[in-house]
Chain A
């Protein structure tokens, strides 16, 4: 059985679409004052390679702007690489922030259906898994209420529950488990372990090291679009903390 995620010599440079974000006003002022504020491109990826096996959970850690989210975007296929290869096998599922796909005036039920289909379920699949999704999120009491009446945590529960019932082969999580309570956290971790036993590979981006330790045995440290370290989570986290301390001294 091959790797679930393969990333080889991956490069993503934002060529910068120079026309976007420029206004007539800034062009005129720039001409008059001789200054032109160039747009800083989002952080890029410079030659990243790694593999993730089915059933493995890997954390991606690193300071803000180190390219973590860009990397997830490339793996999910939203972004197109500049060069190199990226391959994810099977159904790739992104865990969305709770607020993203939920429309405030539609009911939880309608939103779950829509979000399931956005993530790639057919309508039939979404319908048939509805009961499981609602039960897992413990949302029976408020599933027919408009989503605007739900708390952030309740929305996050529903969001996680939809994604976790996708039976994904690759599961990408980008800093979204911060708002749910202790009890649901536990349920989430159990669900993630269950997915892993079924061969699902997990990439987990987080700044909360306790979460990272709990979910993943392996971590990848990124900085400036490159991989600084890749190995056992404890060691990589240690390295990251040294890096963060050095950064602080620097400032």
Chain B
């Protein structure tokens, strides 16, 4: 297990070069380019706000900001995971012909999505300055949540990129699971809402690590509060477990990749 981390560290330059390559080619031939990673969340907020405020008569005037706070960490998870499924297959010839640290392929996808994550964080901060929302010490908590999420997504990306090479069903399964998780996670709703006011339900919902990241963002930015330490510890444990499992699974099956790809 430490072997694969040391190998990744030695290949850090290649990892960064591949990440740069991912970022550059994602919006190739598009006129707006990188602006898309800023426009997409804003557009989603606009549509969801219209739907929720007008159709479902959501009374909360701060709904849009709350939504955006949850949407930013969610979008990272929901794009990085399905995109990293095909990381190996898209670099088929490399996997087959060159001895490179292959974990760099899914990791570069995750890092490029993390870059877009940071870009949308910048948009979020600008909006918070415009509203304005007071900045408090609870904001220091955001990088911790981001790091935990990065660890979890990185570990999962190793697993899905290998499994997807064996069976391309994996991408469809992941996409469908993420769709269901979207509704289970407080993204378009939040934990304080009347229908989740039951404290028992609230308590249970937060054992989903994505709920901790999305609701954690919202609490830190808007309510200037931390989450229940039990939930934080649970999410940290899941993140670390995902990361370690990813490394173990990858080491175990990696040698098969050039044979079946």
Residue from A78, A92, A106, A117 in contact with B25 in the complex, judged by beta carbons closer than 8 Å: A106
The 4 nearest A-B residue pairs measured at CB: A100-B93, A105-B28, A77-B99, A80-B255
Contacts of B25 in A (CB 8 A): 103, 105-106
Cβ contact within 8 Å between B17 and A17: no
Q: Quick one: which of A18-47 are within 8 Å of B by CB?
A: 19-21, 42
Complex Cα spacing A96 to B100, Å:
13
Cβ contact within 8 Å between A96 and B259: no
Instruction: Determine how close the nearest CB of chain B comes to the CB of A144; give it in whole angstroms.
Output: 15
Q: Quick one: which of A102-129 are within 8 Å of B by CB?
A: 103, 105-106, 110, 113-114, 117-119, 122-123
Cβ contact within 8 Å between B98 and A76: yes
Instruction: Determine how close the nearest CB of chain B comes to the CB of A18; give it in whole angstroms.
Output: 11
Residue from B24, B94, B166 in contact with A118 in the complex, judged by beta carbons closer than 8 Å: B94
Q: Is B14 at the interface (CB under 8 A from chain A)? A: yes
Cβ contact within 8 Å between B99 and A78: yes
Evaluate whether A79 and B21 lie within 8 angstroms (CB atoms) in the complex, with A19-B166, A105-B28, A105-B29 already known: no
Cβ contact within 8 Å between B259 and A17: yes
What does DSSP make chain A's interface, helix, strand, loop or mixed? loop
Contacts of B95 in A (CB 8 A): 78
Cβ contact within 8 Å between A119 and B13: no
Q: Is A101 at the interface (CB under 8 A from chain B)? A: yes
Instruction: Determine how close the nearest CB of chain A comes to the CB of B77; give it in whole angstroms.
Output: 27
> What string of 1s and 0s marks CB contacts (under 8 Å) between A3-27 and chain B?
0000000000010010111000000
What does DSSP make chain B's interface, helix, strand, loop or mixed? helix
Complex Cα spacing A86 to B13, Å:
28
Complex Cα spacing A80 to B102, Å:
14
Contacts of A119 in B (CB 8 A): 98
Cβ contact within 8 Å between B259 and A14: yes
Cβ contact within 8 Å between B17 and A78: no
Residue from A94, A99, A123 in contact with B98 in the complex, judged by beta carbons closer than 8 Å: A94
Cβ contact within 8 Å between A100 and B99: no
Q: Is A153 at the interface (CB under 8 A from chain B)? A: no
Q: Is A97 at the interface (CB under 8 A from chain B)? A: yes
Scoring A17, A103, A118 by chain B CB atoms within 10 A of each residue's CB, the highest score goes to A118
Evaluate whether A100 and B21 lie within 8 angstroms (CB atoms) in the complex, with A17-B256, A73-B258, A79-B259 already known: no
Cβ contact within 8 Å between A94 and B97: yes
20 of the cross-chain contacts (CB-CB < 8 Å) are: A17-B256, A19-B167, A20-B167, A73-B97, A78-B97, A78-B98, A79-B258, A94-B98, A96-B93, A96-B97, A99-B93, A100-B93, A110-B21, A113-B17, A114-B17, A118-B14, A118-B100, A122-B13, A123-B13, A174-B97
Cβ contact within 8 Å between A20 and B99: no
Cβ contact within 8 Å between A117 and B97: no
Complex Cα spacing A100 to B96, Å:
11
